[in-house]
Amino acid sequence: MTHSEPLLQLEGINKAFSGVPALTDASLTVSAGEIHALIGQNGAGKSTLIKVLTGAYRRDSGVIRFGGAEVDFASPQAAQLGGISTIYQEVNLIPYLSLSENIFLGRERRRGPFLDWGRMNREARTLLERFDVQADVTRPLMGLSVAVQQMVAIARAVSIDSRLVIMDEPTSSLDDREVETLFGVIRQLGASGVAVVFVSHRLDELYAVCSGVTIMRDGRTVERRAMTDISKLELVASMLGKEPGELRREGETAFVKNHNQKGEELLEVRGVRSGPALRSASLDVRKGEIVGLAGLLGSGRTETARVVFGADALAGGEIKIAGQPATLRSPADAIRAGFGFCSEDRKIEGIVPDQSVRENLTLALLPELSRRGIVDAAKQNEIVERFIRRLGIKTTGPDQKIRELSGGNQQKVLLARWLCMNPKLLILDEPTRGIDVGAKGEIQALLSELAAGGLGVLMISSELEELAEGCDRVVVMRDGSSVAELTGDGLTQDHLMGVMAHGAAQAVPAAPQGGIQNHV
């Protein structure tokens, strides 16, 4: 594909935060109608570059040309008026307003002085149909799944007549079918001449939808290539700054399976129910075992984890801990039983953003760190320092606010929050979602190591390679019920996909060793 004048051109962009350079001579070029990938590890400078472009940050130096003219947007609003809209990773909508109100917020359709609801609802419905979203547009947003909310955010951005749409990890909360729908829309955009800058950590997606790619590392633009010219391995190597040979030796993940004898039963879950999304889930976790919980979005994985941790009320079924029937009324009960839980959404349910790394890391441990309610500061510091070193958390120190850390490092702090309690069982909901390849590998390796040391892990993941390589067994959920369990040679990405899509009955016949067992 050849394009004449690029639509967007950023050149020689420099930006430093209190003397620490975040961008050094960064560049980005996107042609009209091009779907362009922007990749790099967390902290490589992608977000900073986007924020410089949209006017959220002032650049120290450099030139931005858009549509043939030099531009200098003072704010994201100005950029939006200029034809650049951005969809951020976290959904930025108003939960109490209806779908059409959200879509038309700030540019409501009017008839004279009155709002033209009929027209807005009609247009919203047509717009959402393009995204295969079938929902009552007059209903408030908050009752809907994150995926639908994300689609609404994208629909909103698309409906503003933009010449460039920036998507910052738009697929992180979508299931496969929804991702396909989104890609359809992205291709439509491209065909109509709108350029898309697509930020994602999922490499397969880049190959599926992008034509060009810009790779960033350490605040610099290290490469700009056509997607067809670069292999997945080269891509990862370039992001990490390593030679391809170094990577080939490893599997797709950093998990190391240990084939030790598994220990005694930690957790036994039989037919638990809770709300409409969880109808019947059964699973076991033994000491030293990583058990995966697979399923599409909305299959009841997260609900199962929450019930086991006492965060949601149990409507039926049985939970046994170490062989004893247990009643978990609150997370505090589960914590006393030696459980820890990292939820799916770091920002909403994990970090306390304004607090330091130290306070976040020791939040659950505090009662044990204190005598008569007074925190033992020396002991606290000792533990915090130890875990910062042990997990390689990149921070300026224990006093740094956690919201200033990259996603991967925030996740490490949250893991440390539980690890410092010496837990028996860790429940992890998407522990590596939205974090860079480096931190992801470190966390995967850490989990393997901890399991080898006797920790039980129940891990929800949407990444098949993570489940297949990391887990000893995987329980597959479908429509609120656990439908199958995959072990040994039966635990492959293909089988997982088959069971997730079709249920166990029609899936591949059981492999000789281990295999697929139907749940009754």
Partner 1 sequence: MSEGTTTPPLRPPAPAKQGSHRRSIPLLGPLLALLALLLFNIFFTPNFLTAQTLNVNLTQVATIVIVGVGMTLVIATAGIDLSVGALMAIAGALAPMLFLNPPLGSPALGVALAFVLPVLAAGAFGMFNGLLVTRFQIQPFIATLVLFIAGRGIAQVLTNGQLQTFSNTSFQVIGLGRPFGIPVQVILMLVVVALFAWVMARTVFGRQILAVGGNERAARLSGVPVNRVKLAVYGISGLLSGIAGLIVISINSSSDANQVGLNMELDAIAAVAVGGTALTGGRATIVGTLLGALIIQLIRYSLLARGVPDAAALVVKAGIILLAVYVQRQRR
Q: Which parts of this chain interact with partner 1 (CB under 8 A)?
A: 20-22, 41-44, 218-219, 240-241, 246, 250, 254, 309, 311, 330-332, 335, 341, 343, 348-355, 359, 363-364, 366-367, 369-370, 373-375, 377, 390-392, 394, 396-400, 406, 417, 436-439, 441-442, 445-446, 449
Q: Which is nearer to partner 1, 292 or 408 (CB)?
A: 408
Least Å from the CB of residue 211 to partner 1: 27
Q: Which is nearer to partner 1, 61 or 381 (CB)?
A: 381
Short-list 318, 499, 350, CA closest to 433: 350
Least Å from the CB of residue 313 to partner 1: 14
Q: Which is nearer to partner 1, 197 or 328 (CB)?
A: 328
Least Å from the CB of residue 451 to partner 1: 14
Short-list 507, 497, 437, CA closest to 468: 497
Rounded distance, CA 152 to CA 99, Å?
A: 7
Q: Which is nearer to partner 1, 270 or 329 (CB)?
A: 329
Looking at residue 29, its amino acid is T
* H/E segment holding residue 166: strand 164-168
Count the neighbouring beta carbons within 10 Å of the beta carbon of residue 479.
Answer: 13
CA dihedral 380, 382, 387, 390 (to 10 degrees): -170
Could you write out the DSSP letters of every residue in 437-486? HHHHHHHHHHHHHHHHTT-EEEEE-S-HHHHHHH-SEEEEEETTEEEEEE
Q: Which is nearer to partner 1, 282 or 406 (CB)?
A: 406
Least Å from the CB of residue 335 to partner 1: 4
Rounded distance, CA 219 to CA 26, Å?
A: 7
Least Å from the CB of residue 301 to partner 1: 17
Least Å from the CB of residue 331 to partner 1: 5
The structure tokens listed for 519 are 């749940």
Q: Helical H runs in 252-356?
A: 301-308, 331-336
Least Å from the CB of residue 118 to partner 1: 34
Instruction: Give strand pairing partners of 166.
Output: 86, 197
Q: Which is nearer to partner 1, 102 or 409 (CB)?
A: 409
Could you write out the DSSP letters of every residue in 201-233? S-HHHHHHH-SEEEEEETTEEEEEEEGGGS-HH
CA-CA distances (angstroms) from residue 506 to 176, 483, 510, 511, 517?
20, 12, 11, 14, 12
Least Å from the CB of residue 141 to partner 1: 19
Rounded distance, CA 151 to CA 131, Å?
A: 7
Rounded distance, CA 402 to CA 357, Å?
A: 5
Q: What are the backbone dihedrals phi and psi of residue 383, each rounded to the nearest 5 degrees, phi first?
A: -65, -40
Least Å from the CB of residue 401 to partner 1: 9
Q: Which is nearer to partner 1, 87 or 439 (CB)?
A: 439
User: Residues 426, 338: contact at Cβ < 8 Å?
Assistant: no
Rounded distance, CA 199 to CA 186, Å?
A: 13
User: Which sign, positive or negative, has the C-alpha torsion 466, 468, 472, 473?
Assistant: positive
Least Å from the CB of residue 223 to partner 1: 17
Q: Which is nearer to partner 1, 116 or 376 (CB)?
A: 376
Least Å from the CB of residue 504 to partner 1: 32
Q: Which is nearer to partner 1, 131 or 341 (CB)?
A: 341
CA neighbours closer than 13 Å in the CB half-sphere of residue 432? 27
User: Residues 253, 441: contact at Cβ < 8 Å?
Assistant: yes
Q: Which is nearer to partner 1, 9 or 400 (CB)?
A: 400
Q: Which is nearer to partner 1, 354 or 382 (CB)?
A: 354
